[in-house]
Amino acid sequence: MQSALTLSAPPALATLEQGRAVALFVDFDGTLVELAKEPDSIAPAAGLADHLMTLAHRLQGRIAVVSGRTIDDIERHIGPLSIAVAGSHGSDIRSAFGKSLGNVARSLPAQIDAALRTYANENDVIYEHKAHGGALHFRSNPEAGESASAFAKKVASDHGWKAQSGKCVIEIVSGDGNKGSAVRTFMNTPEFQHARPFFVGDDLTDEAGFAACQELGGAGILVGERDETFAQYRLPDVSSVHTWLEI
C-alpha cells in the first residue's frame, strides 16, 4: 500500500487503449455520483446510464458498475443498465446480457434486519435495508460511528456474515463476496478476458477491487484521498472521473 498523496493522475483512457484492450470497473457512490447524507438523496447526472452505454460500445462491452448498492437501487436512480453490473459488494453479479454470474446472492436474514433496524431507531443513525445486506449510515451523526460499527460487527459475527466499513457507513454483507471477487468473476467471462483491468473507486470497500486489478496486470484509480491505498493512480473528485471516462 502507498499514500494517496504520492499518486499521479492516470494516463488518458485513449492512451491506455493503445497498448492493450482495457476493462473498466467503476464504483457508483462517490465515483459516478456525488455522495449525499442519505442514500436516496443522491443526484446522478442526467443521461448517466446512456453515457455508460456509449462507453461500453467503445470498450466492446468491457465495463461494469461495481457498487455496494443493489442493482435494482442503482437502476431506480439512473434507469435500466444494459452493461455489466455487480451490486451488494459483489454478492449479486449480472452480465450485460442479463445473466446472473457466480453464486446466487443470499438474502439478509430477518434477525440481522431486525437488529439493525432497532439499533438505528434507538441511536439516531439511518438504516438501509438491502436485498443482500444491511447498512447503518451515520454521515449526519458522525459521533455515532464508533458504537454503530461495533454493534454491526458483533451482529455480523453472531450470524456468520461479514461487516465492512465505508465512508460514514458500516455494512453487513454475506461473507463470500467483495468487489475484488466481482472483478475476478467478470474477468473470467469472454467479454473481459485478456483485457487489462482498471478499477475506479473512492471507498474502503473499493480496495479489494484495486488489489484484484493489480494482481491481474491492471491498476486501481482512487477518487479523493486516503492515507494508504492499493491504487496506483488518483483522480480528485467525481467531476474528474466523468472527464477521464469521457462521459
pLDDT in tens, the chain (247 residues): 776 668 999 999 999 999 789 999 999 999 999 998 888 899 999 999 999 999 999 999 999 999 989 899 999 999 999 999 999 888 889 999 999 887 766 788 899 999 999 999 999 999 988 777 888 999 888 999 999 999 999 998 998 888 888 888 888 887 667 899 999 999 999 999 999 999 999 999 999 999 999 999 999 999 998 889 999 999 999 999 999 999 9
pLDDT at 102: 77
pLDDT at 105: 67
CB contact at 8 A, 61 and 83: yes
DSSP state of 229: B
Is 29 a catalytic site residue?
Answer: no
CB contact at 8 A, 59 and 24: yes
pLDDT at 38: 85
Q: Which one, of 166, 171, 173, lies nearest residue 202 by Cα?
A: 166
3-class SS at 199? strand
CA–CA dist 114, 117 (Å, integer): 5
pTM of the model: 0.86
Compute CA 75 distance to the chain's CA centroid, rounded to the nearest angstrom.
Answer: 14
Instruction: Choose, from 27, 29, 92, 203, the residue flagged as catalytic.
Output: 27
CA–CA dist 245, 47 (Å, integer): 14
Contacts of 186 (CB under 8 A, 6+ apart): 23, 25, 64, 84, 86, 93, 101, 192
